[in-house]
Amino acid sequence: MKLLLKMAVPFILMLFINISYAQLRVRAPYQIPDIPGYQTLICDFHIHTVFSDGTVWPSVRAEEAWREGLDAIAITDHIEYLPHKDDIRTNHNRSGYIAKGYGQDIYLTVIRGSEITRDMPPGHLNAIFIQDANKLDVETWQEAIAVADSQEAFIFWNHPGWRGQQKDGVARWYPEHTELLDKGMLHGIEVVNNKEYYPEAHQWCLDKNLTMLSNSDIHPPIQMHYDSPNGDTRPVTLVFAKSKDEAAIKEALFNQRTAVLWRNMLVGKEEFLKPIFNQSVQIENPSITFGMEDNKNVQITNRSDVDFELFRADTLTDITIPEKITLYSGKTVLFNVKKTKKLLRGKKVLNLPYKVQNLLVTPIKPLEINLELEIEQK
C-alpha cells in the first residue's frame, strides 16, 4: 500500500501542475493602427474602485482592462464621496497603489489619480499623475485643484453634461472654467463619459485647445455595465504616444494627441483620424482596366475594429461609384463601379470622394477621405 502511495505521488503532483498551467488569462487586443510617428494606445482615465463608490477591488480593474486589450488606465476614486468608508479604511492613495502594483505584473500601465468631486460649477474634475492624493482632501475646490496642479497633474473636467448636475443633459461653460483655463489648470474635457457624448465639450476642445477624453467612469464590474459582444463597448481614449510608459502618455495628453473611440464612433482632429483610416483600409485591386464591359469590381479590406460608414461626397465624370459603402471591421467588401460614356481611352488616377459618417472632426463635420483608384480604358 505504501509503495502504491509512493508511486501515485508524482502522478497526483503532475495533475496539480497541469491544472495550474491550464489557467490561461486571455487578452483581446484592439485593432486600431498606429499612426506615423506614434503608437496608438488604448486608455481609460476614469475608473472607480471600492475605495470610493465602486464595487470592485483595484487589482481587478487592472485585470479587466488588460483582458479588454487596454494599454493604460487611471484609477480615480472620489476624494469627497466615500460611501464604503466604514468598511474600508480611508487612505486616498491605496487604490492607485494596489492597481499599479498589479498592473506592473501584467504589462498594463496604471496611473494614479483622483476625482475632485464638487458641485457644478466647476463640477467633477479628475487629476491624474498625482503624487499624493491625500493632499487633495481640502476645503475648497480652488485649493484642491491648486494642489493637484502643484503636483504637476493632468487635470480634466468630467462628464460636463451629466444629468446629475445638468438636468437637461446640456454641457455649460461657466466663469469658473474660464478661471481654471486662464490659470493653466484645466487641460482636457471628457467628450464621452460612460454612455454619453457631449457635442458642446467636443467643440470646446477644438476652440480652446483642450485634450479630448473618452472614459468609462466605471463603478460595477465592467461586464455588468457594458454589453460588449453586442456593441455596447467601454469608451476609450486613444493616445498617440512615443511609447507605452507613463511619461510618454503624460506628454501626449499635455500636447492634445488623443482621439475618442466609443462604440462605432471616432472623434478627433483630422490629423489623427485620417491616418487611422488610411492605415486601416487597403484597396486590394487599386487599378482596374475596362475593355468592352461597362462594370468592374473593387475590393477594399478594413483591418480595424471600426466599421467605416462611407457616403459619397461628390460624383465623378468617368465612373459611377456607390452612394454608400460600409467597410466592415475585419472584412473585405466588394462593390461595383460603372464607366460613363465620358470615359476616354487611356490611364488615369481617380480620387473617389467619400465622407466617413461615423468619424467626426467637429460635432457636425465628418472626416472626408479619397480612395485612390487607377482606371484604364483599353
Smallest separation, CB 244 to Zn ion (Å):
24
# chain residues binding Zn ion, by CB under 5 A? 4
Choose the binding region for Zn ion from 60-68, 217-225, 281-289, 359-367 (rule: CB under 5 A): 217-225
Q: For Zn ion, give the closer residue by CB, 59 or 158.
A: 158
CA distances from 199 to 13, 58, 129, 155, 275 (A): 60, 32, 27, 20, 23
Each residue of 109-140: b (16+ CB within 10 Å) or e? bbbbbbbbbbeebbbbbbbbbbeebebbeeee
Smallest separation, CB 64 to Zn ion (Å):
16
Nearest residue relative to Zn ion (C-beta): 124
> For residues 5 and 1, what is the distance between their CA atoms, to the nearest angstrom?
6
Q: For Zn ion, give the closer residue by CB, 149 or 217.
A: 217
| Position 158 contacts Zn ion (CB under 5 A) | yes
Q: For Zn ion, give the closer residue by CB, 115 or 196.
A: 115
Choose the binding region for Zn ion from 117-125, 149-157, 199-207, 310-318 (rule: CB under 5 A): 117-125
Q: Which of 332, 319, 321 is nearest to 293 (CA)?
A: 319
> For residues 326 and 306, what is the distance between their CA atoms, to the nearest angstrom?
10
Q: Which of 73, 111, 114 is nearest to 91 (CA)?
A: 114
| Position 118 contacts Zn ion (CB under 5 A) | no
253 exposure class (CB count in 10 Å sphere: 0-12, 13-18, 19+): buried
| Position 217 contacts Zn ion (CB under 5 A) | yes
Q: For Zn ion, give the closer residue by CB, 77 or 305.
A: 77
Q: For Zn ion, give the closer residue by CB, 115 or 309.
A: 115
| Position 63 contacts Zn ion (CB under 5 A) | no
Q: Report which DSSP code applies to 228.
A: G
CB 253 within 8 A of CB 187: yes
Of positions 92, 100, 118, 124, contacts Zn ion by CB under 5 A = 124
Binding site for Zn ion (CB under 5 A): 115, 124, 158, 217
